[in-house]
Amino acid sequence: MSKAPHLVVLTGAGISAESGIQTFRAADGLWADHPIEDVATPEGWARDPQRVLSFYDARRDQVRGARPNAAHRALANLEARGFEVSIVTQNIDDLHERAGSRRVLHLHGEIMMARSSVDERMRYPLGRRNIAMGDVCDRGSQLRPDVVWFGEAVPAYQDACEIVAEADLLLVVGTSLAVMPAAALINELPFDADCVLVDPDESLRVPAGVARLVMPAGEGVPALTRHWQREGRLF
C-alpha cells in the first residue's frame, strides 16, 4: 500500500512577520537592538538573568498579542483536509498550534514554557504568567525561558532530521537559513524529494535545486496549499 506523500515544512521568523512578530536579522530586526551575547547566551544569563527575563517577557507579550496569519492557517487547513503535514519550526511562538497544526516540532524551544535552569527536562507551561527571579522548579532551581540559546545544544535536532528524512516535499518558509544546525536540515532531504522556498527576499542565497516563490508567506503559502488542495495531492 502506498502511503500519502509527506509534506515537511521548515519555518522561520518570516512566517510570523505578518502576525506582527519581529524577525531577527532584518535592519529593524531583534538582533539590531539587542546584543545576542547579552540576551541569548548562557553567558548573558549568568551575567544578568533579569535582563534576559525582561527580553523574553517582551517576546512573550508580543506573541500573546499576535494572531496566526494566512500562512499558518493555510498549513493547518491542509493538514485538516487529510494531507500529511509535519512542521519543524525555528520559532518559539505558538502560532502554528493556535492555527490548528497538530504536528509541530520546536527546534529552538517555546516562549510559552519555562524550564529549570539546571535540567532542561523540567518544563512548565506559563499560561498567562511571566518568569520572575525567584520562580523555581520543583527542585528549587531558578526557572528560565524554555528556549535554546546560542552555544547550547539543540535537543530536538535529531528528531527534526528524522522528520525531514521522511519528506517527499520540503517547504521552507521565512528563514534566512543563517543559523546552524537548523540550516543543515535541508541536507537530510532524500535525494528524490523536492524543495520549495517561500521568502520575499530575492537576495537570499538558496541551495542548488531549490524552487522559490519570492513573496511573503501570507501570499505564497496559501497559493501553494490551494494548488495542492485543488489537485488533491502534492505532485
- Looking at 6, 8, 10, 18, which residue binds ligand APR (CB under 6 A)? 18
Nearest CA-CA partner of 175 in 34, 29, 6, 3:
29
Question: In DSSP terms, which residues pair with 86 in a beta bridge?
Answer: 8
**CB nearer ligand APR, residue 137 or residue 160:** 160
Give the Cα separation of 80 and 99 in Å (integer).
Answer: 11
DSSP assigned state of 130: -
**CB nearer ligand APR, residue 216 or residue 222:** 216
Question: Which residues in 192-211 contact ligand APR (CB under 6 A)?
Answer: 199-201, 204
Is 176 known as a binding-site position?
yes
Check residue 216 for interaction with ligand APR (CB under 6 A).
yes
Is 19 known as a binding-site position?
yes
Is 32 known as a binding-site position?
no
**Residue showing cell 519550526:** 89
Please identify, among the stretches 13-21, 58-66, 94-102, 222-230, the one whose residues bind ligand APR according to the rule CB under 6 A. Answer: 13-21
Please identify, among the stretches 21-29, 49-57, 131-139, 185-193, the one whose residues bind ligand APR according to the rule CB under 6 A. Answer: 21-29
Question: In DSSP terms, which residues pair with 110 in a beta bridge?
Answer: 146
In the β-sheet with 104-106, what is the strand arrangement from edge to edge? 104-106, 84-89, 6-11, 169-173, 194-198, 211-213
Active site residue 227: no
Check residue 176 for interaction with ligand APR (CB under 6 A).
yes
Is 158 known as a binding-site position?
no
Question: In DSSP terms, which residues pair with 32 in a beta bridge?
Answer: none
Q: Half-sphere exposure (CA, 13 Å, Cβ side) for 171? A: 25
**CB nearer ligand APR, residue 126 or residue 215:** 215
User: To the nearest 10°, the Cα dihedral for 11, 101, 65, 175?
Assistant: 0
DSSP assigned state of 4: P
**CB nearer ligand APR, residue 90 or residue 142:** 90
Could you give the residue numbers annotated as active site? Answer: 108
Residues in the site for ligand APR, rule: CB under 6 A?
A: 12-15, 17-18, 23-25, 29, 90, 108, 174-176, 178-179, 199-201, 204, 216-217
